[in-house]
Chain A
């Protein structure tokens, strides 16, 4: 029997590629034969070669084909609950958008400078990446499990929408620490005490994400280091 590999949608493409890259946006229904299948039935696999649906009869029309694709995607989503994380984050929490950089696209000396000739595409990529970093932070910020809390406490319990975090005041004398610290030191203090989790290394991806989200939420607030 034949085994079909189906690229069901852009989502599946995302599943088969890395989280950040989007290699192709294939339409439903493209098929290529690969491997063998048990006699008497057809196994339909997703491009990740793991997610599988068994069919007795092959679909005859587009609706049937779509149903098979949906079944595959449902199975894949169940196994990968985080992959639609961006949509989930957007649904639950509002993250402030990053700065608008279209001013760099204006006329001027730009034409003569290789590294100044930014395009709309560049501006879009910067925005997407910045936004994604803040959203990753929102995800960690709101999850006791991600933070490693041993008492099921997450940051948003005292800081909904990252309120009351004041990242614009760092570096400052943090009274709980008895010395001048940066935002990440206070995040670690909070992790250790109210959240009762292990403090994170400064370059821990979760720490970087938390800083990104907290700073994003304080957009437009002027810096004022040292403020209590």
Chain B
């Protein structure tokens, strides 16, 4: 008898919401208060409180003035015959986002859709992402770019740098993985160039930067935006200098940050680092995104103080330390990050925590990398 596999989660998600609302007959806001108190350890009258059993979507209170967008990032696809594992992971992420209720306003794709920039890999990724119900905003990563310097990417997804406004927030997507030419002098073939860039620890490549042209574009774009408008910048590289050897680095970070600093509420959301990563430099908040494909270890030096490391991934679970997530632009115009780590409790890194307020720090790890 042939078994048909249907994703059971799809219908269960709606039921879960209804069941939880019915759970205490409370209005949603009061339920969240109770649930938050319970999660904090206070016992409900007469019984034991639920630990961590909160649907991902209500892991923290959504503000009516705020809005949520989801992200999927760093999928590093090979064609399916070569590697099925990465394909399956991206399918899972798409399933996660499609199950969100209500749907996010849009989905950010954080870069590195392909592993070696092959047209087939990019096309496969585009095909899978088409299954997303919400609109998608694409961002380019170095793995997408350095085989053909962006030809196929532009055909599929358009210009790598663009901006848009949404619900009073100005969003900018940067091309921040520009590398100074290291390949011509050494007469590298396109694939050699791509493979050099594809190695995180390959020192033969150049550091990432936004570049003079990119910065000029950014300055012109921001000139039209009021300094009080909340600003969210999407970037593949972190836009600060964490660890040069792994290109957890943007060479012209100081200049780019200088362009962002005048804005009162600025958040940078970046890919490339495949881990829980948080930082604040002056008034600029930084949130790193998870990868669907594999986790990176933490850099041996340069880790921001605000970063609370995720538990060291167990390689028995090839998806440990991976996942997707979402961001809420809150009433303050800043961003709270929700990391939906697969097979782990979700972790929230709020803008209050980055701003320095105690009591909202994510739980610490007992098994850091070393």
Taken together as a complex, chains A and B put the C-alpha atoms of A228 and B246 apart, in Å, by 26
Q: Would you call B300 and A152 a contact (CB within 8 A)?
A: no
Question: C-beta contact mask, A156-169 vs B, less than 8 Å → 1, else 0?
Answer: 11111101101000
Please pick, from B78, B201, B297, B316, the residue contacting A164 in the complex, using a CB distance under 8 A.
Answer: B297
Question: C-beta contact mask, B239-252 vs A, less than 8 Å → 1, else 0?
Answer: 00000011000000
Please pick, from B78, B83, B115, B246, the residue contacting A160 in the complex, using a CB distance under 8 A.
Answer: B246
A156-B201 in contact given A92-B196, A151-B82, A163-B297 (Cβ < 8 Å): yes
Q: Would you call B199 and A156 a contact (CB within 8 A)?
A: yes
The reply on B361 being an interface residue by CB < 8 A is no
Question: C-beta contact mask, B314-326 vs A, less than 8 Å → 1, else 0?
Answer: 1110100000000
A176-B315 in contact given A151-B84, A151-B85, A158-B297 (Cβ < 8 Å): yes
Q: How far does the Cβ of A135 sit from chain B's closest Cβ, in whole Å?
A: 14
Q: Would you call A93 and B315 a contact (CB within 8 A)?
A: no
Name which residue of chain B comes closest to A177, CB basis: B316
The reply on B38 being an interface residue by CB < 8 A is no
Please pick, from B83, B202, B296, B297, the residue contacting A93 in the complex, using a CB distance under 8 A.
Answer: B202
Q: Would you call A158 and B315 a contact (CB within 8 A)?
A: yes
The reply on B71 being an interface residue by CB < 8 A is no
Residues of B in contact (CB 8 Å), total: 28
Q: Would you call A92 and B204 a contact (CB within 8 A)?
A: yes
Q: How far does the Cβ of B147 sit from chain A's closest Cβ, in whole Å?
A: 15
Please pick, from A94, A161, A194, A228, the residue contacting B315 in the complex, using a CB distance under 8 A.
Answer: A194
A93-B82 in contact given A160-B246, A176-B315 (Cβ < 8 Å): no
A163-B315 in contact given A92-B196, A142-B199 (Cβ < 8 Å): no
Q: Would you call A157 and B367 a contact (CB within 8 A)?
A: no
List, in ascending order, chain B residues with CB within 8 A of A152's CB. 78, 82-83, 115
List, in ascending order, chain B residues with CB within 8 A of A161's CB. 201, 245-246
Q: Would you call A157 and B294 a contact (CB within 8 A)?
A: yes
Taken together as a complex, chains A and B put the C-alpha atoms of A142 and B296 apart, in Å, by 15
Name which residue of chain A comes closest to B245, CB basis: A161
The reply on B312 being an interface residue by CB < 8 A is yes
Name which residue of chain B comes closest to A176, CB basis: B316
Taken together as a complex, chains A and B put the C-alpha atoms of A152 and B315 apart, in Å, by 17
Q: Is the interface of A mostly helix, strand, loop or mixed?
A: loop
Q: Is the interface of B mostly helix, strand, loop or mixed?
A: loop
Please pick, from B85, B300, B367, the residue contacting A228 in the complex, using a CB distance under 8 A.
Answer: B367
Question: C-beta contact mask, B105-144 vs A, less than 8 Å → 1, else 0?
Answer: 0000000000100000000000000000000000000000
The reply on A10 being an interface residue by CB < 8 A is no
The reply on B295 being an interface residue by CB < 8 A is yes
The reply on B50 being an interface residue by CB < 8 A is no
Q: How far does the Cβ of B327 sit from chain A's closest Cβ, in whole Å?
A: 26
Chain B, range 211-228, C-beta contacts under 8 Å to A: none
Q: Would you call B199 and A163 a contact (CB within 8 A)?
A: no
Q: How far does the Cβ of A85 sit from chain B's closest Cβ, in whole Å?
A: 14
A160-B295 in contact given A152-B78, A176-B315, A228-B367 (Cβ < 8 Å): no
The reply on B164 being an interface residue by CB < 8 A is no
Name which residue of chain A comes closest to B295, CB basis: A158
Taken together as a complex, chains A and B put the C-alpha atoms of A62 and B171 apart, in Å, by 62
Q: Would you call B204 and A160 a contact (CB within 8 A)?
A: no
The reply on A47 being an interface residue by CB < 8 A is no
List, in ascending order, chain B residues with CB within 8 A of A92's CB. 196, 199, 202-204
Q: How far does the Cβ of B364 sit from chain A's closest Cβ, in whole Å?
A: 17
Chain A, range 209-228, C-beta contacts under 8 Å to B: 228
Name which residue of chain B comes closest to A142, CB basis: B199
List, in ascending order, chain B residues with CB within 8 A of A166's CB. 370
The reply on B200 being an interface residue by CB < 8 A is yes
A193-B83 in contact given A158-B294, A158-B295 (Cβ < 8 Å): no
Please pick, from A91, A160, A176, A228, the residue contacting B297 in the complex, using a CB distance under 8 A.
Answer: A160
Q: How far does the Cβ of A223 sit from chain B's closest Cβ, in whole Å?
A: 14
The reply on A181 being an interface residue by CB < 8 A is no
Q: Would you call B203 and A193 a contact (CB within 8 A)?
A: no
Can you list 30 A-B contacts (CB < 8 A)? A91-B203, A92-B199, A92-B203, A92-B204, A94-B203, A94-B245, A142-B199, A142-B201, A142-B202, A151-B85, A152-B82, A153-B83, A157-B294, A158-B294, A158-B295, A159-B297, A160-B200, A160-B246, A161-B201, A161-B245, A161-B246, A163-B369, A164-B297, A164-B369, A176-B314, A176-B316, A193-B315, A193-B316, A193-B318, A194-B318
The 3 closest A-B pairs by CB, nearest first: A160-B201, A164-B297, A151-B83
